A = this chain, B = another copy of it.
C-alpha cells in the first residue's frame, strides 16, 4: 500500500484514522498481548462511519434511539476502545487504554458489555456479534411499529471478519435477516484474506457476497481504505431497503511489517516495527499521545449527536401521557404491576381444577395470560411452534409486512435464535422468549452462555425435557443438558413440576432482569401436584417441602418436573409401610442455593436418607444428596447414567428404572 498517497488524498481523515491505529499499536505493546491487525485494517471504515453516519451521543450512552455499533470480530477490541476514547465517552479514559487487558480495567481482551458505556454487546466468540445484530434490528423494527418513527429510528452497524462469516451461526443470522428484510442493518466485512492459520485460502474459497445475495441482501464491494468509497457505500446501503453487506477489501495490520500476514492478526509487540509503522503513517507522536487537533476533530463528531438527542428527548417529552407511560415501561424492561395478580389468578385456577397437563401445555396457558398484560414480550420458536407451545391466541407474526407482530418464526436455527434474542434483550424495549427442544440447547449453547455472561433477561422455553418425549429416541432425549445448563454461571434453570409451578416459573423468569432463564418443560402429561392454593411463589425458593412425612421422617425424596409425581407416589407407598417420607420439589437448584442456609437446612435436615429423582444424569445432585457440609446423609439417585432409547415413554421410564417402585426400593436399601 502506498500510505503516502492515502494520506495525501484525505489528510484529515487519515489523521483521525491513524489515531486508532497508533492507540492500538501502543495498547498492545503495553499489554504485550492482544490483536493489532484488525483495528489497523478497519480504522478507515470506522472513521468514515463514525464521522459521517453513526448516530450517537457520548454524553448519553444509553440513549435508546442511538445507532448500535457491533464489533463482531471482537478480538479487534482496541478499535472500539479507541473510538470510545477519541469521541469522548467519559468512562473510556486514556488510562483505561493504557490498562488494556489488565485486571479491573474497562478494556478487557474482548469487548464486554457492561464494562464500559458504549459497548453494545459482548463479542469475541466469532459470529456472535453479527448474529446479535439481527435481534437488534428486529427489536428496532418492532418498536418503531409500536411507538412510531419519531421515537424509534436508528440503525445497526456491524464489523465482521472472515471468522464471523465462517462460523455456521452467520448463515442462520444472514438468512433470517434477509428473509425479514431488515433494511436498517449494515455489515462491513473485513475482507483481508487472512486468518490465524495464515492465508484464508488454506481453509476457504467461498464467494461471501454471493452467499449474502442468495438470502436477499444488498451487496457491494469496495476498497476498505478509500474514505470516499466507504462513504458512498454507506449511503447506498442506507438507501436500499434490504439489509446490506459491504465487502471491504482491506489490509490487515496496514502499514506494519506484518501487514497481510497471519502474524499481523495477532499481537504486534515489536517496538521497532511499531515505530516504523508510525513513521510510515507520518505520525511523530509518543505512545498514547493524540495531538489536540486530532482529538478535537474526534470530539467534534462525538458532540454532533447531542443535538439530535435533545430533539429526540423533546419529542419524547411531548408525548401523550398514556403513550409515554407505555414507552417508559418498555424501556425500563421491568414487569408490569399486573403480572403478579395475573399469575396468582392462574395458579388459583390451576390448583383448583388440577388438570393433568404437560408442563409445556401449562406454559402455553401461562403465556396466554402473560402476553396480553405484557406487551413487551416477543416470542418465537425454532420451527417447533406447536411442540414448544410458544404462540398464543391472537399473537401476530412478525414479518416485513407486519412489524407489529410479536411472534418470530426463527426457522430451524436454534443458535441464530438464541443470538438474536440476546440482541433483542441488549437493544431493550422488548422481552424475548424462544422455544426449541431441550436437547437442542446444545446447538444454541455458545449464545446461551453469552446471555448469562451479559446478564441478559432472555427466556428459553425448552420442551421435551427428558426421555419422557418417548419415541423420537436418544438423539432427541436430553440426559445431560440439565447438568450442562446448571453448570453455566448466572444461568437460571427451572424445571417446574406442574401447572402451578409453571406459572410460578414464568413469573420468576419475567421478573428476572439480570440474567437468562431456561424453562425445562415436559412433552408428556403430568398431574397437578400443588392442589392447595398458595399465593406465595414457592418456586422462588428453589426447593420447598411439597409433602411432609406423616410417620417418623426416615427419608427425603427430592425431585423436579415430571419426576415429582413419582416421588409423591413413592412416598405414598412408603408411608403405607410406616416409613415417614418428606417430598421436596426442587424447581431450581440455583434459587435454592441462593436461600439462607437456615432455610436450606430446614428443607433438607440431616438424619434421614436422601434420594433424588430426575430423568437425567446425577452430576448436579451430589451437592444436595451429600449435604452441603458433607457427612450428612446416606444418599441414592434415581435417574439416567446413559443415553435414552426410542420407545413409548411409559416403557422407557420402566426400562430405565425411574419409577416409584425403584424409588421405594432404593429408600429401603439405604435404610438397610
Q: Name A residues whose Cβ lies closer than 8 Å to a Cβ of B.
A: 31, 33-34, 74, 101-105, 108-110, 112, 122-126, 162-163, 166-172, 175-176, 178-179, 195-197, 202-208, 210-211, 213-216, 381, 383-387, 397, 409-413, 415-416, 439-440, 442-443, 445-446, 449-450, 452-453, 470-476, 479-480, 483-484, 486-490, 610, 617-620, 622-623, 625-627, 629-635, 640-643, 645-648, 651-652, 655
Contact = CB atoms under 8 A, between A and B. Distances in A.
Contacts of A440: 125, 446
Nearest to A654: B103
Contacts of A409: 197, 202-203
Q: Identify the 5 closest CB pairs spanning chains A and B, nearest first.
A: A168-B168, A626-B626, A108-B646, A203-B411, A622-B622
Contacts of A211: 210-211, 214-215
B476 A109 contact: yes
Contact of A206 (B34, B214, B655): B214
A264 to B, nearest CB: 14
A388 B632 CA distance: 43
Given A204-B175, A442-B445, A166 B109 contact: no
A108 B469 CA distance: 13
Contact of A412 (B31, B162, B471): B162
B175 A473 contact: no
21 contacts: A34-B471, A103-B655, A108-B646, A110-B476, A124-B472, A125-B476, A167-B172, A168-B413, A168-B415, A179-B204, A179-B206, A197-B381, A206-B215, A211-B211, A440-B446, A453-B474, A480-B487, A483-B483, A484-B487, A487-B487, A630-B633
Nearest to A99: B647
Contacts of A206: 175, 178-179, 214-216
A626 B617 contact: no
A441 to B, nearest CB: 9
A272 B31 CA distance: 73
A163 B443 CA distance: 13
B168 A169 contact: yes
A214 B629 CA distance: 59
Given A101-B647, A383-B196, A126 B412 contact: yes
Counted per complex, copies of this chain come to 2
Given A470-B33, A641-B489, A625 B630 contact: yes
A648 B34 CA distance: 12
Contact of A210 (B108, B205, B214, B387): B214
B474 A112 contact: yes
A34 B626 CA distance: 42
A210 B213 CA distance: 8
A610 B630 CA distance: 10
Contacts of A489: 479-480, 617, 640-643
B214 A167 contact: no
Nearest to A211: B214
A631 B629 contact: no
B103 A652 contact: yes
A637 to B, nearest CB: 10
Contacts of A176: 203
Contacts of A626: 622, 625-627, 630-631
Contacts of A486: 619
Nearest to A445: B442
Contacts of A623: 618-619, 622
A330 to B, nearest CB: 26
A617 to B, nearest CB: 5
B631 A632 contact: yes
Contact of A170 (B171, B397, B450): B171
A646 to B, nearest CB: 3
Given A34-B471, A112-B474, A178-B206, 12 more contacts: A101-B473, A125-B440, A166-B383, A197-B409, A205-B215, A440-B446, A445-B484, A480-B489, A489-B641, A490-B642, A618-B623, A630-B634
Contacts of A651: 102-103
Contacts of A204: 175, 179, 411
Nearest to A589: B619
Interface centre among A103, A168, A176, A640 (most CB of B within 10 A): A168
Interface centre among A109, A172, A208, A216 (most CB of B within 10 A): A109
Contacts of A490: 642-643
Contacts of A104: 647
A179 B206 CA distance: 7
A103 B104 CA distance: 56
B179 A172 contact: no
A415 B626 CA distance: 37
A412 B208 contact: no
